[in-house]
Amino acid sequence: MWGLCVPESCSDSDILFSLQDLLELVEAPFNLSAVNASSVVCAQDPPVPYNSTGFIVTLFFLGLIACLMVLGAFLDKTLRSIDYKPPATAPTPGVPINGPIRVVDAYPYQRVRDTGREGQVESEHQGEERELEEAVPTACTKFWHQIVLSFAVNRNLAKLLGAKTPEGSITCLNGIRVISMTWVILGHVSSFMIGSGIVGNPLHSYGFIARFGFQAVSNAFFSVDSFFFLSGLLVAYMALGRMVKTNGKLPWLWFYFHRYWRLTPALGMTMLIALYLQPYIGSGPIWQVEASNPSCEKYWWANILYINNFVPDSGLCIGWVWYLANDMQFFVISPFLLIMLYRVPIVGLVTMGVMCLASFISTAVLMVKYNFYAVIMDGTNPHQDPNHSFMEEIYVKPYCRIAPYLVGMAMGYFFHLYKNKAFKMHPIVAMIGWVFATAVGMSLVYGLYPSFHGHPLSTAENAAYMALCRFTWAVSLSWVVFACHYGYGGWINDFLSWELWIPMSRLTYSAYLLHPIIIMVYDFNHGNNYFYSIYMLAFEVTAIVTLAYVAAILMAVAIEFPLGNLEKLFMPLAEKKRK
């Protein structure tokens, strides 16, 4: 890489042609052709003018939210300092004055209650809501007070960092979430370093992929399947528990609205940051973030409608949110399965089995049709169709990714069915279960290692592996959750239930949204290429994980928690109007 200062009036093509002419003059006398100027990236400081409409609008929203956060904290402190006696009647129907309100978390949070009988638990609340004490001060008698208090940074931060959980909670889910998110970041950091052209030793870096220990990095996509599994499990467990209490009736429109409201504000803010702020926080010869993204300007609506995995070229607009599109699409069809599981369970289970089978077949057919490799980071098959990519045809498509979600729903139904019953098994049976789950998981992650060393998979093996790997991963994870939930997890459950995971698990959604932006800012701000190594990867992953969770704290207290508070604030009024 060469660096050169030139007048601002020079274009990319002017510089490229000048460099080519210069190289010809230098090499011609010696009959050399060692260097070729192939591309030019022009950078300026600032990279773009600070007067774009999107930049100004984004700053306005951020400033407004910051003001509400400070105002809410000030109002909270003021109301708490007032010696107040609550009135005899509530001034605002449906809005609690004394007592807790519920706030929605980024990812489903499950709670169960110990019944006092050995081995038996009873559902107190399952799903995406957590009861948070003293959400509204007693002096808060006006509705607008509660709106402003929803943004109070001190209250939302206290809720976020609280590590209290009721006895009997399925706390192992917290550890699984955090570990899975760290695995996601590990995979993204490595693939970005190797695939974006920023490393100075690309051939050497590709050699790492063939190492045995590196298989856990190459196959980090299983972490996404873990989230699909958890999502399906909690949706089924939460909804079925409520349906029992309401005789099979649920407000399905509110069911959909709740999910959309939970995901979209943070997604929208991420899009604004990526589009209009990110170009201003980097510069240099390898800074490749443009001030305007034509794909985002054209397909932004696909992201907020959660159909971006079906819209061509929309993946270029914060492409990592393909996961949200899949998760939302699975969520949309979940009520049909839930109704069957509630009314005729065998029909629901058979239907989910048929859907899994259809997913296996469609994935296998696409793998064979386009000659895709099962080893994603090993490049592409020279015989594959050049007009189709693995990412577009298989990786982001719901019919190829739904199996873990369905396994999760089946597990959620099982937990619902046995939530008030003890589940006893012989220790040897439990040990066999752990051995089986571990063997399956390890074989999935490390089983492709021989394909890097002269033993490539056949077409049939490629298709079979990709068709079944996600399903079998979810099955192995089912055992982990089952064993930890029913007391057969031992030290594994102790580790996954560590209190430190509790606040971190509440940040996984925001960390997922923001970490690719942090990766790009970190990598593209280097003044030159750097050398890829295991140590460099370890240092960068540690830095990105730390920065992602710090940024996630800001997103959570500024967007997620306040909007969740507002939803719960208006929900009683909406329910009363509906009645």
**pLDDT tens sequence across 300-310:** 899 999 999 99
Q: Is residue 3 part of a domain?
A: no
Q: Read off the pLDDT of residues 206-243 as tens digits, 9 standing for 90 and up.
A: 778 888 988 999 899 999 999 999 999 999 998 998 89
> Distance between CA 114 and CA 118 in Å, rounded?
9
Q: Do 219 and 91 fall into the same domain?
A: no
Q: Read off the pLDDT of residues 425-472 as tens digits, 9 standing for 90 and up.
A: 899 999 999 999 999 999 999 998 888 887 888 889 999 999 999 999
**Which residue, of 103, 131, 161, is where some domain finishes?**
161
Q: Is residue 150 part of a domain?
A: yes
Q: Do 125 and 222 fall into the same domain?
A: no
Q: Do 177 and 147 fall into the same domain?
A: no
Q: Do 97 and 216 fall into the same domain?
A: no
Candidates 8, 15, 22; CA nearest to 41 is 15
Q: Do 36 and 144 fall into the same domain?
A: no
pLDDT at position 122 is 42
Q: At residue 317, does pLDDT exceed 60?
A: yes
Q: Is residue 45 part of a domain?
A: no
pLDDT at position 385 is 62
Report yes or no: 12 and 40 within 8 Å, Cβ to Cβ: yes
Asked if omega into 427 is within 30° of 0 (cis), the reply is: no
Q: Is residue 134 part of a domain?
A: yes
Tokens matching residue 62: 């951020």
Q: Is residue 479 part of a domain?
A: yes
Amino acid identity for residue 398 in this structure:
P
pLDDT at position 117 is 41
Number of domains making up the chain:
3
Lowest pLDDT segment from 117-121, 384-388, 504-508: 117-121
Q: At residue 120, does pLDDT exceed 70?
A: no
| Ranges 13-27, 38-52, 172-186, 303-317, most confident | 172-186
User: C-alpha dihedral over 102, 103, 104, 109, to 10 degrees?
Assistant: -70
Candidates 441, 546, 425, 517; CA nearest to 188 is 517
Instruction: Summarize the confidence of residues 171-188 as an average pLDDT.
Output: 95
Please, what is the end-to-end C-alpha distance for the chain in angstroms? 68
Q: Do 291 and 413 fall into the same domain?
A: yes
Q: What percentage of the chain carries pLDDT values higher than 70? A: 78
Q: Is residue 71 part of a domain?
A: yes
Report yes or no: 375 and 215 within 8 Å, Cβ to Cβ: no
> Distance between CA 6 and CA 4 in Å, rounded?
6
Q: Do 105 and 197 fall into the same domain?
A: no
Candidates 371, 393, 370, 369; CA nearest to 310 is 393
**Which residue, of 121, 139, 161, is where some domain finishes?**
161
Q: Do 321 and 441 fall into the same domain?
A: yes
Q: Do 134 and 189 fall into the same domain?
A: no
Q: At residue 92, does pLDDT exceed 50?
A: no
Lowest pLDDT segment from 81-90, 415-424, 508-517, 551-560: 81-90
With cut-offs at 50, 70 and 90, classify the pLDDT of residue 112.
Answer: very low
Backbone conformation region of residue 199, classed left if phi is above 0, alpha if psi is from -120 to 50, else beta: beta
* DSSP H or E run through 161: helix 153-161
The boundaries of the domain holding residue 270 are: 172-578
Q: Is residue 47 part of a domain?
A: no
The mean of the pLDDT values for the chain is 82
What 133-139 contacts at long range (C-beta under 8 Å, 24+ apart), as own/partner pairs, is: 133/100, 134/100, 135/100, 135/101, 135/102, 135/103, 135/159, 135/565, 136/96, 136/97, 136/98, 136/99, 136/101, 137/76, 137/79, 137/80, 138/84, 138/86, 138/97, 138/98, 139/79, 139/80, 139/82, 139/84
Instruction: Summarize the confidence of residues 153-179 as an average pLDDT.
Output: 86
Q: Is residue 322 part of a domain?
A: yes
pLDDT at position 93 is 46
> Distance between CA 374 and CA 208 in Å, rounded?
18
Q: How many residues does the chain have?
A: 579
DSSP 8-state symbol, 556: I
Total-model pTM: 0.84
Instruction: Summarize the confidence of residues 564-577 as an average pLDDT.
Output: 73
Lowest pLDDT segment from 351-360, 388-397, 508-517: 388-397
Q: Do 157 and 20 fall into the same domain?
A: no
Q: Do 506 and 475 fall into the same domain?
A: yes
Phi/psi at 346 (5° precision): -65, -35
**Which residue, of 161, 190, 208, is where some domain finishes?**
161
Q: Do 127 and 179 fall into the same domain?
A: no
User: C-alpha dihedral over 339, 419, 326, 404, to 10 degrees?
Assistant: -110
Q: Read off the pLDDT of residues 413-429 as tens digits, 9 standing for 90 and up.
A: 998 888 777 788 899 99
